[in-house]
Amino acid sequence: MAAPDFTPVVIPTPPDFPVEWANPEDEKLPLLHDRKHAPGPITPLSGWLCEQHWGKGSSVGLAAAGQPVAAMIKMVNTFYYLAIVPTVPPEEMEQAGQRAEEALKASIPTFTQTWEEEWLPELKDLHDTWNAFDFVAASNEALLAHFEWTLASYERLWDIHFAVTVPYLVAPSMFHDLYEDVFGESEALHSYKLLQGIDNASIVAGRELWSLGQTADSAELRSAIRNVPTSEVVSRLESTSGGDAFLSRMRTYLGQYGKRSDTIVELADPSWIEDPSIAIEILKQYLADDMDDPTDQWKQLVAEREQFVEDARNRLSGYPQPVRDEFEMFMAAGQNGQRIQEDHNWWIDQMGNHQVRQVFLEFGRRFSDGGVIEIRDDIFYLDGDEIREATRAGISGDRRTLVEQRKAEMDRWSNVQAPPMLGTDYGPPPDNPVTRALNRFFGGPPPAPDPDRPDVIKGNPGAAGKVTGTARVIIKLSDAGRLGKGEILVTPTTAPPWTPLFATAGGIVTDTGGPLSHCAIVAREYGLPAVVGTGMATSVIQDGQQIEVNGDSGEVRVL
């Protein structure tokens, strides 16, 4: 895992972030604060689920993909830290790495078929079982049994997640490397244009939300959505001509596409189907007079992809057939990889979390009724073992003081900047297709600032192009309504539920991520310049400032 000449170093902790290791061995882990998936503190129940079941399922999936590493999640001062650790002794890593690379290359031509014919049907079956469970009729014993099945199924979700993640990330990364080898470094960014314009679940959900907005075909309906505070839109529509029919269509949309929240890790956040505020905020933007139909931009991206593919094939016509065959294989795998990156997230990260949340909420209802906690959502301040214990005891005991203590702890740490790494630094990982792909997904450390250019923030090129506009710093998707047409979305990270915002934005800047992150992929699908992985944009750029985003160089200039 480490470079041979690197001596492991224990990472010092900042004075305002003292760490008491639950297990002294945890200090030996290379723990990364995964701001891409959880930028702030998360609730104890979400953290427990990640530590006990997310990591376990992920490690099974990594092994199934032939990788000699495991995932470990640790909650440190309410923050989510991830470590990828070797599963073989150091002296065996080189040989294990060679076997892993061989397994990876064998899986790339076939992972799409495995996803479509094996993993996706299994995921759909799991969701059918979740959807069929009758919470109202279930006894406490039946609910507890369903809870245990849910935990095992959640592990299986993450087993599938990482079994498919390795090839779907590596395929476009290796295509990028091949493109650079064939056409030169100066044209390497063009590789992503050959992968754009491929439908996926996130794009379809955004397109359907746009289509829903277009059914508000009267001035009265549009006014009831656009000009009324978000919390009052539903009640206003109920008294507006045609409003009931629109609400029915909106509920149908939410039933199909609303089993997701604006975060990936935090299960305390309500899904859109529970709270339609985010969908309504985006509808307000879609109904603006100056809003363009995103399908027009989509058609242009598809045409651009087809032209780039044709040009590449023409330029390769003089190459030996094996080179052309390899190019075609990696291009198809890269296109499918970027599609499955969004689709797997839809079925696992988003809807999977929604299903688990519903189980926890039922415990919350019963615990609240039984006086164990004050309100339903306080369930997220207990952990799974505490839920088991109280349920087996007939839903008894008083955990209200404990809940208040844990809420206070989250409030305390929410005002502290978590360090990017904890534990032990083992140096840079070995250079191989998987580590290169992961670096392009997470982004790696941001480039060092240039002291001669203090107005420039450096990151990773995410999507080509240059744009100047007003910065709109948005931390939570619930603030989506503040983003105006053509403004630059500046945010710590974006998850797939943020996709509809890309139709409004003029450009994207994030603190986290690389060119294979969700944000960069979707920015390319919407033709938006993007700079990702700056590490500091949301803390340096002020809301309302004029900025220039250069997606080709990976630089943001404050004007």
Q: What is the pLDDT of residues 188-242, one digit of tens each?
A: 678 999 999 998 998 899 899 999 999 998 999 999 999 999 999 999 999 999 9
CA distance 26 to 422: 10
* Strand 530-532, strand 546-550: pairing: unpaired
Would you place residue 5 in the very low, low, confident or very high pLDDT band (cuts 50, 70, 90)?
low
Global pTM exceeds 0.85: yes
Q: Which of 197-211, 287-301, 305-319, 440-454 has the lowest mean pLDDT?
A: 440-454
Q: What is the set of domains in the chain, with CATH numbers?
A: 443-558 (3.50.30.10)
* Strand 460-463, strand 530-532: pairing: antiparallel
Report the pLDDT value the prediction gives residue 344, as an integer from 0 to 100.
93
Residue 262 has pLDDT above 80, yes or no: no
Report the pLDDT value the prediction gives residue 43, as an integer from 0 to 100.
97
Most confident of 60-64, 337-341, 380-384: 380-384
Q: Could you report the per-residue pLDDT of 99-124, keeping only the tens digit for each? A: 888 888 888 999 999 999 999 999 99
Distance of CA 235 to the CA centre of its chain: 32
For residue 132, give the amino acid letter: A
CA distances in angstroms from 74 to 34, 198, 474, listed in the order given: 11, 36, 27
Instruction: Please list, in sequence order, all residues whose beta carbon lies within 8 angstroms of the beta carbon of residue 153, skipping any fewer than 6 positions away.
Output: 126, 129, 130
Beta bridge partners of 329: none
Identify the DSSP state of 53. Answer: I
Q: How high does pLDDT run on average in the chain?
A: 91
Max Cα-Cα span within the chain: 76
Over range 267-285, report the average pLDDT: 92
For residue 45, give the amino acid letter: L
Report the pLDDT value the prediction gives residue 1, as an integer from 0 to 100.
41
Residue 4 has pLDDT above 60, yes or no: no
Would you place residue 3 in the very low, low, confident or very high pLDDT band (cuts 50, 70, 90)?
very low
Over range 463-491, report the average pLDDT: 90
DSSP per residue, 320-389: -HHHHHHHHHHHHHHHHHHHHHHHHIIIIIIHHHHHHHHHHHHHHHHHHHTTSSSSGGGGGGS-HHHHHH
Q: Could you report the per-residue pLDDT of 348-374, keeping only the tens digit for each? A: 999 999 999 999 999 999 999 999 999
Nearest to 515, CA basis, from 39, 83, 172:
172
By percentage, how much of the chain surpasses pLDDT 70? Answer: 99
Report the pLDDT value the prediction gives residue 394, as an integer from 0 to 100.
94
Report the pLDDT value the prediction gives residue 157, as an integer from 0 to 100.
95
Report the pLDDT value the prediction gives residue 128, as an integer from 0 to 100.
97
DSSP per residue, 107-138: HTTTHHHHIIIIIHHHHHHHHHHHHH--TTT-
